[in-house]
Amino acid sequence: MPLIEGRGLHLYPSLIDPDTTLGLIEISSVRATLDTTETGLMNPNARADIAFNPDSQLLPVALSAGILAAGVGPRGGLISGRSAAMLLDGWTREDMALRAPAAVYVSWPKMGINRTPGAKAAQEQAQFRKDRLLAIRDAFEDARAYAVRDAAKDERDVKWEALVDAVQRKIPVVVHADGVDEIRAAMKFAREENLRLILLGGRDAWRIAGEITCPVIYTHMATVPRDDEPYDVAYRAPGILARARVMVALSCGGGAAHVRNLPDFAGRAAAWGLPRLQALQAITIVPAQLLGVADRLGSLELGKDATFFLADGDILDTRTHVLRAWIGGREIDLKDRQKVLWEKYRNRPTR
Amino acid sequence: MKFLLLLFLLLSGATHEKAQAPRRFAIAHVTAHPASRPAVEDATVVVVDGKIASIGNLHPPKCR
């Protein structure tokens, strides 16, 4: 049996960003490379794993940071579609899909009234919000009715069919909500509809940490605080939530190019009050649990996939390098575009 | 003919086997961070068929 000498090295389970658009975006300013969003408001039948590009140049960059798996979620509309848990190395999207669908994505409407000059009339905004909330509720109630239809007689409807797993609590509903009012409204809605809720975003969740009854995927580690907020609020929020016994996962916020910053974000959360083990868990086992893949990934335990990496130091320290990585016991190539360019310009001849 | 077919299958299987990365290996004397519990110093992690077969302060397995 081949033996790898690990003296002085650190072995970590795959880091997992639970909410990215990896494989759905290549260059955000080039429209032809964007596949995050379907047209219209109700697209529960849209599947991120179908749109996933296994040849994205952004995947090796994430791999180089120890992120060997990620949640990939759709964007836009009210019900954006269904996410997937994907490995970030493989030949085809079928090879790379760990679990699809993993969750239904809902984008919660803004609950406040915009009173800045030039904004629409308050009454018009309130009506707009009411219509959107009604549309979300109707969708889940239609799906519940669809789940008990007579399949032999009634027509198939792919939209409501896509929501059946969510209304039957087989998969969670990930609601994108940042403000206190949106978070409270989303939690109330999930209680009334008996859904498995996961909050995504959670910018102001720390303000009502004691009220939060569901897991939070916190995406605001790099968000500039508002004028009336402490300068370090973005970094302290995960620790505040954890102390209130909220299950917290960290995410880079749905981007594709910045997923590599995930270990740095966990390091910052650890420096601002989140215990170090919990900070590591927020980017490993907790995202694995939220994506429904904790039986295979997220920790180094007997019987789990050998999906891990060797690093030359503490992965929460930004100076640490990932040296080697394996997915299911298969060693993967950690070369990426940034390393290729670094080599190229490092070896540029001088005149 | 049957012999040739069998030979072909055996050879192609062998080639395929060769192309696969070893899925049995061990990493010894590493600081393992299981995430489900605190770090384990000087750990050995054994991988068999792509799965973690053991993890802990074990003696390194017989190796080449």
Which residue segments constitute the domains of chain A, with CATH numbers given?
10-110+168-346 (3.20.20.140)
pLDDT surpassing 80 at residue B46: yes
pLDDT tens across A56-68, in order?
Answer: 999 999 999 999 9
- Across A262-315, the runs of DSSP E, i.e. the strands, are 308-311
pLDDT surpasses 50 at B50: yes
- The string of DSSP letters for A19-56 reads EE-BTTBS-TT-GGGB-SB-SSSB-TT-BHHHH--TT-
3 state DSSP class of A293: coil
pLDDT band of B7, cuts 50, 70, 90:
very low
Is A280 at the interface with chain B, CB within 8 A?
Answer: yes
Is the separation of the CB atoms in A275 and A242 below 8 Å? Answer: yes
- Report pLDDT for B61: 53
What is the phi/psi pair of residue A284, to 5°? -135, -85
Residue A149 confidence class, pLDDT cut points 50, 70, 90: confident
* Residue B10 pLDDT: 44
Whether the Cβ atoms of residue A269 and residue A235 lie closer than 8 Å to each other = yes
Nearest CB neighbour to B50, from listed A13, A299, A306: A306
pLDDT band at A350 (very low <50, low <70, confident <90, very high): confident
Nearest by Cα to A63 from A272, A345, A336: A336
**Residue B15 scores a pLDDT above 80:** no
Cβ-nearest to B50 among A298, A302, A330: A330
Q: Measured between alpha carbons, how far is A66 from A12 in angstroms, rounded to an integer?
A: 8
Distance between CA atoms of residues A326 and A298, nearest Å: 14
Q: Strands A79-87, A67-72: parallel, antiparallel or unpaired by DSSP? A: antiparallel
Task: Report residue A14's pLDDT band, with 50, 70 and 90 as the boundaries.
Answer: very high
Which H or E element spans position B26?
strand B25-32
Rounded CA-CA distance A16/B9 in Å is 40
For chain B, say whether A27 makes contact (Cβ under 8 Å).
no
Strands ordered across the beta sheet of A79-87: A15-20, A67-72, A79-87, A97-107, A173-177, A197-201, A216-218, A248-250
Contact in structure between A209 and A241 (CB atoms under 8 Å): yes
CA distances from A114 to A71, A130, A204, A327 (A): 32, 15, 18, 48
* A135 has a chain B CB within 8 A of its CB: no
Structure confidence at residue B20 as a pLDDT band (50, 70, 90): low
CB spacing of B45 vs A11 below 8 angstroms: yes
Model pTM score: 0.91
Query: Contact A6/B29, CB-based, under 8 Å?
Result: yes
Residues A295 and A303: their CA atoms lie apart, in Å, by 9
CA distances from B35 to A154, A283, B38 (A): 48, 9, 7
Contact call for A2 and B33, based on CB within 8 A: no
CA A6 from chain centre, in angstroms, equals 31
Q: Which residue of B has its CA nearest to A4?
A: B27
The pLDDT of residue A295 is 97
Chain B contact present for A148, CB below 8 A: no
pLDDT digits (tens, 9 = 90+) for A232-249: 999 999 999 999 999 999
Query: Which stretches does DSSP call E strand in chain A?
Result: 3-5, 10-13, 15-20, 67-72, 79-87, 97-107, 173-177, 197-201, 216-218, 248-250, 308-311, 322-327, 330-332
Query: Can you say whether residue A25 is alpha, beta or left, with left for phi > 0 and alpha for psi between -120 and 50 degrees?
Result: beta
Residue B17 vs residue B32, higher pLDDT: B32
Backbone angles phi, psi at A78, to 5 degrees: -100, -55
| Digit-coded pLDDT (tens) for A66-77 | 999 999 999 999
A304/B51 Cβ within 8 A: yes
A-chain residues near B23 (CB < 8 A)? 306, 328-330
Question: Quick one: pLDDT band at residue B60, thresholds 50, 70, 90?
Answer: low
**Chain A residue at shortest CA distance from B21:** A330
pLDDT, mean over chain A: 95
Collapsing DSSP states into helix, strand and coil, what is residue A332? strand
